Every structure is written in structure tokens, then in C-alpha cells.
């Protein structure tokens, strides 16, 4: 029988992260053969992984990394089953190591097949499933490349990347602020110009139907009814629509007895309100049209303009769950 020393056990534990007793048992079974002991632990991990394959892994840690050149970033979600494991220091440390490695890859498949200290990332995940006793997997993997890339992480639960068109003096601040916006407000696209017309039309009908149904109940309760918008996106507000809205507002001002010579001071604000009331989809889903979280008096697009000749070209967001 091989003489298994404490140093042998410690070496195997450092290499695999497995518990002391599991390492000792593996070394005994392998008769002191270090590589064979690692294989035994991996096989144990695979068995546990197979048993827990249908488990939900909605907890974990989301890590965003940007390379030294600031032109490529990744977000990696290392998922597990419980919040207890997700907050564990060694688990978060592993997530950070994996994210650092991910910077050298361009797809989830390439990342899982890449080398991690003599094994593939996928093998490492299987090994850790055996060590931890929970399903461990890569939940999401996003890559963003741009002339300048910045990131933001919210409590290891939500990660965001922002790509800028060029590097300006305060690019780091701008990219972080926009990434924070993306993480907090969950935009799905950059601008209303990216929307498919069919999607906007379908969403308009659905929202109008939902509000009209809600108004029936509000009316029954004697409460104030909600405004039913004609439109929900700037993409629907053609020049003709804006012109018609302006004429209608002029008629309202005339009916209110407002002197015509002061209309020019009143109309811009009312038109702005009309546009705001009829672009709710943009405000929810379009990054540039959202209210800036650090100053809700301006849009994200307006905030970007204050920092120089630069634009946002892309963004990515990953969240647990």
C-alpha cells in the first residue's frame, strides 16, 4: 500500500479544490499515483454532473473583464444552484480566473474547449461539480470588441459592457456610466431605428389592448383612466404625424384663449410631451432614448453629447436567472 503523506493530499487539494478526505481517498485508490487520483476525482465529478444535469443553476457569479488595450471585453456567468455557493470566495475567484481566460477566446464553444491548467474549461467545471456537489456551468458568455470598451458589474449578479466609437479623454467614465445604465435599465437595442416595423406594430396593438382592458376596471372602480397612446415609438412619429399633432395643439391653445403671439413659447414643451407620451417602447428598450439614471432630466443620448465627439456602437448585458 502506498504511503500517502499530508503533503500529497495538500498538493492534490490545491490542484483540484476537492476536500481533504476526498483527496486522500482518491490517492489511496490510485495507490499514490497523482495523475490517476486527479482522474478519479474528475470521474466522480462527471457522475455527480450526470445526476444533477436537470437541476436549475440560476445562482452564481457574473464577471466582466476588459483587456489591457481596452478594445475587447467579455462577460462570463459562472452558474451554480445556490446563492450560498455563488457567494463563496473560492467560487467567485474561479469565475474571475475563467473570465480572464475568456478574453483570449471569441465564442463560448472555444472558451469551454480552451486550456485551464492542463485540462479544458469544461473538464474544470465537471471537476468542480464533483468538488462542490452542485451543478456548475457557464450560463452565458458575451464578447464585445470596439475602439474602446468599458464595463460595470453590479454585485456579481449583473454585468455589462459598452463599446465606444473612439477613445476620448474621459472614455473610461463614459463607458462605465453607460454600462451602469445597461445593467440597471436592461435596454435590448441601441436605438428605435433598430426596431423591426412589424414588431413595433404588434407591440402597439398589444399595449393599447392592455391599457383599454385596464381602463375598464379603473372605470368600474371610479378611478382615473390611463391615457391610451396612439403610438409607442419614435419610428412611428413621421413628419406628417408631428405636423398633425402640432396643429391639434394649436387648436387646443386657441380654444383655451391663449394669445397666438405666445404659442411659440408653449408649443415646444407640449410637442415634447406628445413625443414622450408616444415613445414608451423606446424609453423602455432603446439605450439612447432612456432617461439617464444619473440625471433623469436628460436622455442617455444627451448625456453622451456632453462628453465629446463620441458615440456608443454596441453593448452587452448578462444577468443571473
| Mean pLDDT computed over 169-187 | 95
| Mean pLDDT computed over 199-225 | 93
pLDDT at 2: 64
Q: What is the pLDDT of residues 24-79, one digit of tens each?
A: 887 787 777 888 887 777 777 677 767 777 777 889 999 999 999 999 999 999 99
Q: How distant, in Å, are the alpha carbons of 153, 273, 288, 292 from that of 300? A: 19, 18, 5, 5
| Mean pLDDT computed over 248-274 | 91
| Mean pLDDT computed over 270-299 | 93
**Structural domains in the chain, sorted by start:** 6-51 (1.10.8.10), 59-187 (3.30.479.20), 193-290 (no CATH)
The mean of the pLDDT values for the chain is 90
The whole-angstrom separation of Cα 217 and Cα 198 is: 30
pLDDT at 49: 64
Query: What are the DSSP calls for 171-235, one per residue?
Result: HHHHHHHHHHHHHHH--SBS-GGGS-HHHHHHHHHHHHHHHHHHHHHHHHTTPPPPP--S-SSGG
pLDDT at 11: 81
pLDDT greater than 70 at residue 231: yes
Residue 317 near residue 182, CB atoms below 8 Å: yes
DSSP code for 260: G
Amino acid at each position: 500500500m502506498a504511503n500517502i503523506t499530508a503533503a500529497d493530499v495538500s498538493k492534490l487539494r490545491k490542484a483540484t479544490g476537492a476536500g481533504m478526505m476526498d483527496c486522500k481517498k482518491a490517492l489511496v485508490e490510485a495507490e499514490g499515483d497523482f495523475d490517476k487520483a486527479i482522474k478519479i476525482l474528475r470521474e466522480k465529478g462527471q457522475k455527480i454532473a450526470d445526476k444533477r444535469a436537470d437541476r436549475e443553476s440560476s445562482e452564481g457569479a457574473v464577471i466582466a473583464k476588459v483587456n489591457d488595450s481596452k478594445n475587447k471585453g467579455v462577460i462570463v456567468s459562472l452558474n451554480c444552484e445556490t446563492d450560498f455557493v455563488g457567494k463563496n470566495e473560492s467560487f467567485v475567484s474561479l469565475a474571475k480566473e475563467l473570465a480572464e481566460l475568456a478574453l483570449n477566446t471569441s465564442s463560448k464553444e472555444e472558451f469551454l474547449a480552451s486550456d485551464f491548467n492542463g485540462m479544458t474549461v469544461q473538464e474544470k467545471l465537471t471537476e468542480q461539480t464533483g468538488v462542490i456537489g452542485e451543478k456548475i456551468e457557464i450560463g452565458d458568455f458575451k464578447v464585445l470588441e470596439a475602439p474602446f470598451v468599458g464595463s460595470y458589474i453590479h454585485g456579481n449578479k449583473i454585468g455589462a459592457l459598452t463599446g465606444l466609437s473612439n477613445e476620448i479623454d474621459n472614455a473610461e467614465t463614459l463607458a462605465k456610466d453607460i454600462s451602469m445604465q445597461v445593467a440597471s435599465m436592461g435596454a435590448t437595442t441601441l436605438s428605435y431605428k433598430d426596431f423591426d416595423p412589424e414588431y413595433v406594430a404588434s407591440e402597439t396593438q398589444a399595449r393599447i389592448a392592455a391599457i383599454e382592458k385596464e381602463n375598464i376596471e379603473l372605470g368600474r372602480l371610479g378611478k382615473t383612466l390611463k391615457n391610451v397612446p396612439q403610438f409607442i415609438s419614435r419610428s412611428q412619429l413621421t413628419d406628417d404625424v408631428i405636423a398633425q399633432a402640432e396643429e391639434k395643439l394649436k387648436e387646443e391653445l386657441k380654444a383655451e384663449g391663449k394669445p397666438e403671439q405666445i404659442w411659440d413659447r408653449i408649443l415646444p414643451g407640449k410637442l415634447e410631451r406628445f413625443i414622450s407620451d408616444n415613445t414608451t417602447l423606446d424609453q423602455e428598450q432603446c439605450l439612447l432614448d432612456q432617461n439617464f439614471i444619473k440625471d433623469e432630466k436628460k436622455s442617455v443620448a444627451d448625456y453622451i453629447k456632453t462628453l465629446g465627439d463620441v458615440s456608443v456602437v454596441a453593448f452587452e448585458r448578462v444577468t443571473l436567472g
